[in-house]
Each structure stands twice: as C-alpha cells, then as structure tokens.
Amino acid sequence: MTLRNIRTSARNAMCDGFVDDFDAGVAAGNADMQIGTATMASVLAVVDFSDPAFGAAGAVNPGEAVANTMTGNNAVATGTAAEIRFRDSDAATIADGDAGTAPPADLILNTTSFTTGDSVSVSGGTITVPENG
C-alpha cells in the first residue's frame, strides 16, 4: 500500500521514530555513516554523527529531520563509492542507501573516487518522510 496525503503530525512522528534509532545504541560513542563500494564489500570512509544525530522532525520542514554536526575522517581505503550504511553506536545497521554524484542517490558526493588518506566530509543531511509515499 502506498499512502497519500499523510498528516504532518504523523510524518513528523514517523521521521522522529526513525532518526531516534541513530541514538539507540548502548555502547559509548556516536552513530556513523559508512561510505563503501558496491554491496559494502569495502568500507572507504566513515563519517561520525554527533549525539543526538538529528534534530526534531518538522523543526525546519514538515516530515524532515536535519542532521546535527557530522565529523568527517580520512578515507581508509581506495575504491569507488556506491553505497552507504547508517549504524548506531553499537555498530548495528539502521539502514543502507546509495551513494553517487547525482539524484536519485541518497548521498550526493562531489566524486565517487576515494583514495586512502583523502579527507572526507559531509556538509549536512536530512531524513524525510514524504507527504505522498
């Protein structure tokens, strides 16, 4: 079933429920986003989220949660980025997505070519529950 015309309060609640999972790990540390090759065969870089990882849904736009500060690191491997994996502080997978240089990729990069030691940073991000699924 594809839902349409989802009420704003419901969209915000669904979005908050999802992004709260980023902060659900019991281990010390923060959630992170791994950037990897196809099928996550190799992790190329890791970007750390702050704690909490996201602000409240609806604070900027209905059904949307904006990421708080993310800290980049240096690339740990050389390869072509194709996927992302979100993990909580226990390193449990929350969700996977696509990486690329243009939509419909979930993470838009200026290049998908990574070289060990390259500086990797992400300037911002949002998680959105659309009004019309």
pTM above 0.85, yes or no: yes
Q: How far apart are CA 8 and CA 97, in angstroms?
A: 25
Q: Is residue 96 part of a domain?
A: yes
95 is in which domain, residue-wise?
28-116
Work out the end-to-end distance of the chain between its first and last CA atoms, rounded to an integer number of angstroms: 9
Tokens 């699924």 found at: 133
Q: Is residue 84 part of a domain?
A: yes
Q: Please report, as a single letter, which amino acid is at residue 124.
A: G
* Overall domain count for the chain: 1
From the CA atom positions of the chain, what is the Rg in Å? 15
Q: Is residue 131 part of a domain?
A: no
Q: Is residue 36 part of a domain?
A: yes
Nearest Cα to Cα of residue 36 among 122, 111, 126, 114: 114
Query: How many other CB atoms are there within 10 angstroms of residue 27's CB atom?
Result: 10
Q: Is residue 20 part of a domain?
A: no
- Given pLDDT bands bounded at 50, 70 and 90, which one contains residue 105? very high
Q: Is residue 123 part of a domain?
A: no
What six digits make up the tokens of 76? 């740990």
Q: Is residue 66 part of a domain?
A: yes
Reported as a single tens digit per residue, the pLDDT across 69-84 is 999 999 999 999 999 9
What six digits make up the tokens of 55? 């602000």
Reported as a single tens digit per residue, the pLDDT across 13-53 is 999 999 999 999 888 889 999 999 999 999 999 999 999 99
Q: Is residue 105 part of a domain?
A: yes
Instruction: Mention every residue, 6+ apart, whose C-beta is less than 8 A from residue 28.
Output: 89
